[in-house]
C-alpha cells in the first residue's frame, strides 16, 4: 500500500469525546458529545495554536513523524 502526500501540509484540531460509551451490540465507541465529531483544519501549526489559545481550548500538539522513503525500481520486486 502506498500513502500519498496530498494533505501533508494541514494541521487538524480534534476534540476528544467526554463520555465515550461502548455499543453493546456492535462494540463501537460512541458519544453524545457533538464536539467529538468536529475537526478543524488549519494551514499552519501557528494558526491552530493561536485559535486554540484564543478560544481557551486545552490542546496537545502531536508533531508529524518524519517519513523514511526507500527508492527502488520495479525490478527490485523480483530479486531474491
The tens digit of pLDDT for each residue in 35-57 reads 878 899 999 999 999 999 999 98
Q: DSSP letters along the chain, please?
A: -----TTTT-EEEEPPPSS-EE-TTT--EE-S-GGGG-EEEESSHHHHHHHHHHTT------PPPPP------GGGGG--
Query: Looking at residue 7, what is its pLDDT?
Result: 64
Residue 20 clears pLDDT 80, i.e. is over it? no
Residue 24 clears pLDDT 70, i.e. is over it? yes
For residue 57, give the C-alpha cell. 481550548
Cα→Cα distances 68→8, 20, 65, 71, 79, Å: 14, 35, 9, 10, 22
The tens digit of pLDDT for each residue in 57-79 reads 888 998 888 878 888 888 888 88
Query: Looking at residue 43, what is its pLDDT?
Result: 92
Amino acid at each position: 500500500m502506498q500513502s500519498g502526500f496530498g494533505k501533508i501540509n494541514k494541521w487538524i484540531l480534534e476534540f476528544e469525546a467526554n463520555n465515550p460509551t461502548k455499543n453493546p451490540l456492535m462494540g463501537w465507541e460512541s458519544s453524545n458529545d457533538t464536539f467529538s465529531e468536529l475537526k478543524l483544519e488549519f494551514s499552519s501549526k501557528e494558526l491552530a495554536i493561536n485559535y486554540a489559545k484564543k478560544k481557551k481550548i486545552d490542546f496537545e500538539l502531536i508533531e508529524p513523524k518524519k517519513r523514511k522513503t526507500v527508492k527502488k525500481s520495479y525490478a527490485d520486486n523480483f530479486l531474491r
